[in-house]
Amino acid sequence: MHPVLFEIGSFPLGTYGLLLAIAFFAGTALAKRQAKLDGLAPAAITDLAIALLISAILGSKLLMVVVDLINGAPLREVFSLGTLRAGGAIHGGIIAATAVFFWNLRKGQGLPLRVTGDAMVPGVALGQAIGRLGCFSAGCCYGTESQAPWATTFTDPIAHAFSGTPLGIPLHPVQLYNTFANLIVMAVLLAVRPKRIFQGQIVALYFLLEGLGRIITETWRGDVDRGTGWLGWAWLSTGRLTGLAFMLLGLGLWTVWSRRQVTQVRSSK
């Protein structure tokens, strides 16, 4: 595709970076709009979103480095310029952002944890969907070889240099599969939110759907050198492992928070 959108003099404007910025602003705008429905302060949501963005970037890079080291990649390759310029492992970013989210709100930011989470996660799903378009443009997170009519062939040497993307071979556009999956997640969250039966339900549902979607789309991931074969099971890639963890987290949050809601209702009678 187009890893570099255009150049201003000797300065290249990367398509991935531009779409990442758009993803942040679009996701934050949606989160602020959802927050207003529950009477939350938009300015506080913006501050929180910035903290989550920084932690997500660092978490993505960290998980990418950890997985590469576990898989025996040479240190020179792991910390090469091309590797560090890559987007990283997105679930590492979600894990780090989730930890910062709970820490910030537990510390006392004037925002209720579960209600704020319900407002934020549709924006997270939207940001992920746009971010995957950046992956598609850069050629990273590429798919397996495919003869499907919608298969994509990458030809830009920059994509191969930075991400090892195979050139001249039709591949599954798995990045777009993930975009569609994230848009579906967002739509479901927005549809369920007005009908939620307990605070925090949208957060729990996000982790359940995000985990399930990642487990499914990993079927077509072609960059299999990144974390394939955990615990000796060939199908258990890093994406599937974190996807399962996300589903377990979502199930746990659903169970605990729904029971807490029932207890609060009973105690108020």
- Give the pLDDT confidence score for residue 244 in this predicted structure: 93
Region 44-67: what's the mean pLDDT? 83
- 113: which residues sit within 8 A by CB, 6+ positions away? 102, 105, 106, 200
- Give the pLDDT confidence score for residue 265 in this predicted structure: 43
DSSP character at residue 7: E
- Please give the share of the chain, as a percent, with pLDDT higher than 70: 78
Amino acid at 95: I
Query: How is residue 226 written in tokens?
Result: 């990144």
Region 185-202: what's the mean pLDDT? 96
Distance CA 91, CA 63 (A): 8
Residue 74, helix vs strand vs coil: coil
pLDDT in tens, 69-128: 666 665 565 555 454 555 567 778 888 888 888 888 877 667 899 999 999 999 999 999
Q: What is the pLDDT confidence band of residue 149, given thresholds at 50, 70 and 90?
A: very high
Annotate 246-259 with DSSP letters as a single string.
Answer: HHHHHHHHHHHHHH
- Give the pLDDT confidence score for residue 152 in this predicted structure: 94
pLDDT in tens, 29-49: 999 999 999 999 988 899 899
- Quick check: 144 and 170 in contact, CB under 8 A? no
**Average per-residue pLDDT in the chain?**
83
Return the number of other C-beta atoms located less than 10 Å from residue 7's C-beta: 9
- Give the pLDDT confidence score for residue 262 in this predicted structure: 54
- Quick check: 178 and 213 in contact, CB under 8 A? yes
- Give the pLDDT confidence score for residue 53 in this predicted structure: 87
More confident residue, 34 or 63: 34
Q: Comparing C-alpha atoms, which of 159, 175, 168, 170 is closest to residue 14?
A: 159
Cα angle 71, 53, 206 (rounded to 5 degrees) comes to: 80
More confident residue, 120 or 10: 120
Region 144-170: what's the mean pLDDT? 89
Judged against a pLDDT cut of 90, whether residue 247 lies above it is answered with: yes
CA 259 from centroid of its chain's CA atoms? 28
